[in-house]
Amino acid sequence: MLVRPSLMRMRLALASCALVGVVSAAPPAVNLDQQYPAGSIITQSGAEQALVDADAAQKTIDAQYKAERVRCAHVVLVTDCQDKARRAHTRGQGQVHRVQVEAHDLQRKLAAQQRAVQRDAQQVQQQHEEAARPEKERAAQQAAQQRAAQAADRAKDALRQQAQAPANRQSYEQRNAQHEHDVAQQSSVQIRNSADNARRYKEKQDNAKTYAATRAREREQSQKEREERERKRKAQMTQDAANSPPPADPGAAKTGAVPEP
């Protein structure tokens, strides 16, 4: 059977259109090389953002590859279409991997630098502490010697006071005895001079004793009354709390029901 030239030309045109469709229908690939050229990641925040973008790009190229495989199944040149989709996916994965490696390398480098700075600071601090340690030890030794000297002085003072105690006590007793003797002489002179003075003196002494006893009884009675009032107040509070009605039920108030006693 002969095929007419016009029909052959039509089929070739359809095949050409299908081939063009394979190329033009492919979605644009993610270009991390343009977004993050080699050596452009130089800060910690830039590395973190690059890793976020790389993860998003990986998801995008995976989704594009899956969609391309589905689309290639419906074109004329299936194998060629799938090869192109696979190569695009591989290129995208390579870009993602490069950005991830560069970002992780920078993060490790910055972490190592930070550890080095901290280690240097610790070494400087340790050197300062070691340099100051002899002075601290001398100060501590001087403080200990000062405390020991103060303790020795206190011990000496205690021994001196203990040695002087009998003489001081004797002198004190003598002064008291002389004072009592002088008071007795003055009282004796007053009593001898006037019997009424003696009587008034005795009355003053008796009145003072009576006043002191009265005041003591009044204070005792006042204390008892305060304690009794406090006891009654607490008992009244306890009774009021026991007799107070329970709070009204909000639900019963709404429905109009009377709560049971």
What pLDDT, on a 0 to 100 scale, did the predictor assign at position 189? 65
Res 62 pLDDT > 60: yes
Write out the two tokens for 158: 């205690």
What pLDDT, on a 0 to 100 scale, did the predictor assign at position 250? 56
Tens digit of pLDDT for each residue in 86-98? 999 999 999 999 9
pTM above 0.75, yes or no: no
φ, ψ of residue 36 to 5 degrees: the values are -130, 80
DSSP codes joined into one string, 170-234 = HHHHHHHHHHHHHHHHHHHHHHHH-HHHHHHHHHHHHHHHHHHHHHHHHHHHHHHHHHHHHHHHH
Listed by start position, the domains of the chain span 16-138
Res 15 pLDDT > 80: no
Q: Is the dihedral of CA 184, 187, 193, 194 positive or negative?
A: negative
What pLDDT, on a 0 to 100 scale, did the predictor assign at position 74? 93
How many angstroms separate the Cα of 204 from the Cα of each of 13, 141, 196, 197, 208?
Answer: 146, 66, 12, 10, 6
What pLDDT, on a 0 to 100 scale, did the predictor assign at position 6? 45
The 3-state DSSP class for residue 77 equals coil
φ, ψ of residue 28 to 5 degrees: the values are -65, 135
Q: Which residues 6+ apart lie within 8 Å of 72 measured at CB? A: 22, 78, 81, 82, 85
Tens digit of pLDDT for each residue in 230-241? 999 999 999 888
Between CA 19 and CA 78 the distance in angstroms is 10
Least confident of 20-24, 142-146, 220-224, 249-253: 20-24
What residue has token string 């790389």? Answer: 54
Between CA 107 and CA 114 the distance in angstroms is 10
Element (H, E) at 152: helix 78-193
Tens digit of pLDDT for each residue in 107-159? 999 999 999 999 999 999 999 998 888 888 889 989 999 999 999 999 988 88
Res 23 pLDDT > 60: no
Mean of the per-residue pLDDT values for the chain? 82
Res 257 pLDDT > 50: no
Q: Which residues 6+ apart lie within 8 Å of 15 measured at CB? A: 76
Least confident of 73-77, 157-161, 256-260: 256-260
Task: For residues 236-252, give the mean pLDDT.
Answer: 73
Between CA 109 and CA 21 the distance in angstroms is 47
Between CA 68 and CA 74 the distance in angstroms is 10
Write out the two tokens for 102: 């560069």
Q: Is the dihedral of CA 136, 140, 145, 147 positive or negative?
A: positive
pLDDT grade for 199, boundaries at 50, 70 and 90: confident
Element (H, E) at 1: none
